[in-house]
Structure 1
Amino acid sequence: MHGPGSSGWLLVALCAATGAYCLLRMRSGVEEQRRAAGGEALMGFGMAAMAVPAAVFTPPAWAWPLWAVVFGAAGLHALWAARASARHLHHVVGAGAMVYMAVVMAAAPQGAHHGASGIPALTAVLLLYFTAYVLVTGARLVPVAAVAGGPGTGPGAGSGAGWGDRPELSHACRLSMGIAMVAMLLMM
């Protein structure tokens, strides 16, 4: 990806912070949330590593195929998990996007940037998917006015779940990674 310095560092910080939060979410008492958080932590840290500006660190040639293998394995794991829940299909698409970016970076000459030939079709499809995902996930974070006296409106509402189990925090985590994925796809 290796975009301009300041945007690259912002992307690194966003993805690393998201990965770190996802590691903390792995302490959840709910097994499904722990599993999802582990995959999201891998994505966050992987995206952070791929976004480091080239002026600071240029990965060796073997790093890109290694990333492709790691995210290919993560994608297969998510595909296996998708048998039980369709929610994992997003993880399959995310891992596939990471494999795609790693393969493109491995094939690109050192220091090559996006040319005048336009956006490749697969990049365009991934951009559309992640843009739609960001918009839908962002809409889920918009607060809805609670019905007076309804469940979850009293004092201490929501205090039964730990901070790592709060759905709005996991949505925010996924939203930030979706935004980072759009940025990385645009920098290709």
Structure 2
Amino acid sequence: MHGPAASGWLLVALCATTGAYCLLRMRSRVEEQRRTAGGEALMGFGMAAMAVPAAAFTPPSWAWPVYAVVFGAAGLHALWAARAGTRHLHHPLGAGAMVYMAVAMAVSPGAGQGHPHGSSGIPLLTGVLLLYFTGYVLVTGVRLVPVAAVAGDRAPGAGEASGWGDRPELARACRLSMGIAMVAMLLTM
């Protein structure tokens, strides 16, 4: 291991790849996939940008408030979309966590010199977010475990011509990877 820079670049690659796949999901024939894919792509690319190691690029001081505004708007949009039910409350919570991290980076003493580690954020809020995202990762991981099909049951979507972008297990894997990345980013707070 080459230290924090190597893990930072791995996090950037994971988040950027996830964001790119989510962009491809926006072409899906399944309406629910298209609806959630845009927000997830924004989250993936935003997490990738925030995870760039400070040794490679130090964002200007105005970047953190811009992140906060963009993810605040995305969170409000996701909250508005979730008003019909509690199914997608994870999206506004994820956007809120991104706003929290951006604000913590903006107000931290080392914000102009790079990414502060371990000295920013409110410990209780960081802990609550860590607990939530750790639980989310565990639950999402369990949902990826294959279940044996009962004889005679058709798999959801069986018989339909669906592309690889419409596969729910790939969408869950992307959400799982973004959840893991969120835990990793929150651990540095």
Which segments of structure 1 move beyond 4 Å, counting only runs of 4 or more? 156-159
Unaligned runs of 5+ in 2: none
TM-score of the aligned structures, taking structure 1 as reference length: 0.91
Q: Please give the root-mean-square deviation of Cα atoms over the aligned residues, in Å.
A: 2.1
Q: Percent identity?
A: 81
Name the counterpart of 2:152: 149
The yes-or-no answer on 1:108 pairing with 2:86 is no
Change in 2 beyond 3 A, CA 1:118/1:50: closer
Paired residue for 1:125, among 128, 132, 137? 128
Normalised by the size of structure 2, how large is the TM-score?
0.90
Deviates more, 1:62-71 or 1:3-12: 3-12
- Supply the AA of the counterpart residue of 1:172: A
State the secondary structure of the residue aligned to 1:28: coil
* SS in structure 2 at match of 1:57: coil
| Distance in structure 1 (CA, Å) of the matches to 2:159 and 2:5 | 41
Deviation at 1:164, TM superposition (A): 1.0
Q: CA deviation at 1:102?
A: 0.1
C-alpha deviations, 1:24-48, integer Å up to 9, x for none?
Answer: 0000112221120000000000000
**CA pair 107-165 structure 1, distance change in 2 beyond 3 A:** same
- Residues 29-84 of structure 1: per-residue CA shift (max 9 Å, x gap): 12221120000000000000000000000000000000000000000000100112
Q: Secondary structure at the match of 2:88?
A: helix
Q: In structure 2, what is the Cα distance between the partners aligned to 1:149 and 1:114?
A: 54
- Count the aligned residue pairs: 183
Q: Which amino acid aligns with 1:141?
A: L
How do residues 14-33 of structure 1 correspond to structure 2 at under 5 angstroms? Answer: 14-33=14-33
Residue 179 of structure 2 corresponds to: 178
Residue type at the aligned position of 2:53: P
1:118 Cα deviation (Å)?
10
